[in-house]
Amino acid sequence: MAHVIDELIPPAPPPPDVAKRWNAASISGYLFLALWFLAAVALAAWLIGGWSNERVALYGPKYLSGLLTTIELVATCIVLGAIISIPVAFGRMSNNPVFSTLAYAYVYFFRGTPLIAQLFLIYYGFGSFRDQLDAVGLWVIFRDAWNCAVFAFSLNTAAYQAEILRGAIQSVPRGQFEGAASLGLGRVITMRKVIMPQAMIVALRPYGNEIILMIKASAIVSIVTVFDLMGETRRAYSRTFDFQTYIWAAIFYLLIVEALRNIWVVLENRLTRHLKR
CATH number at 233 reads 1.10.3720.10
pLDDT at 100: 94
Neighbours of 86 (CB within 10 A): 13
Over the stretch 88-107, which tens digit does the pLDDT of each residue have? 999 999 999 999 999 999 99
Domain coverage including residue 181: 53-275
Instruction: Check residue 193 and report its DSSP letter.
Output: I
Kindly state whether residue 5 falls inside one of the protein's structural domains: no
pLDDT at 149: 94
- Asked whether residue 228 falls in the same domain as residue 201, the answer is yes
Mean pLDDT of 2-9: 52
Kindly state whether residue 82 falls inside one of the protein's structural domains: yes
- Asked whether residue 66 falls in the same domain as residue 124, the answer is yes
Kindly state whether residue 6 falls inside one of the protein's structural domains: no
Kindly state whether residue 10 falls inside one of the protein's structural domains: no
Question: Structurally, how many domains does the chain consist of?
Answer: 2
Kindly state whether residue 79 falls inside one of the protein's structural domains: yes
- Asked whether residue 36 falls in the same domain as residue 128, the answer is no
> Contact at 8 Å (CB) between 221 and 119?
yes
pLDDT at 237: 87
Name the percent of the chain in helix, strand, coil, to the closest 5.
Answer: 85, 0, 15
Kindly state whether residue 103 falls inside one of the protein's structural domains: yes
Over the stretch 165-180, which tens digit does the pLDDT of each residue have? 999 999 888 888 888 8
- Asked whether residue 131 falls in the same domain as residue 210, the answer is yes
pLDDT at 142: 87
pLDDT at 49: 63
Q: How many residues does the chain have?
A: 277
Band of residue 244 on the pLDDT scale cut at 50, 70, 90: confident
Question: 231: which residues sit within 8 A by CB, 6+ positions away?
Answer: 66, 69, 221, 222, 225
- Asked whether residue 64 falls in the same domain as residue 44, the answer is no
Kindly state whether residue 57 falls inside one of the protein's structural domains: yes
How far are the Cα atoms of 63, 114, 126, 152, 160 from residue 120, in angstroms, in the given order? 25, 10, 9, 9, 19
- Asked whether residue 74 falls in the same domain as residue 200, the answer is yes
Question: Is residue 17 packed enough to be buried (19+ CB in 10 Å), middle (13-18) or exposed (0-12)?
Answer: exposed
Mean pLDDT of 232-254: 87
Higher pLDDT, 268 or 52: 268
- Asked whether residue 68 falls in the same domain as residue 117, the answer is yes
pLDDT at 109: 95
pLDDT at 22: 52
d(CA 247, CA 238): 15
- Asked whether residue 160 falls in the same domain as residue 28, the answer is no
- Asked whether residue 62 falls in the same domain as residue 183, the answer is yes
Residue 25 has pLDDT above 70, yes or no: no
Kindly state whether residue 65 falls inside one of the protein's structural domains: yes
pLDDT at 32: 72
- Asked whether residue 43 falls in the same domain as residue 176, the answer is no
- Asked whether residue 85 falls in the same domain as residue 24, the answer is no
- Asked whether residue 159 falls in the same domain as residue 270, the answer is yes
How far are the Cα atoms of 31, 148, 258 from residue 72, in angstroms, in the given order? 41, 14, 17
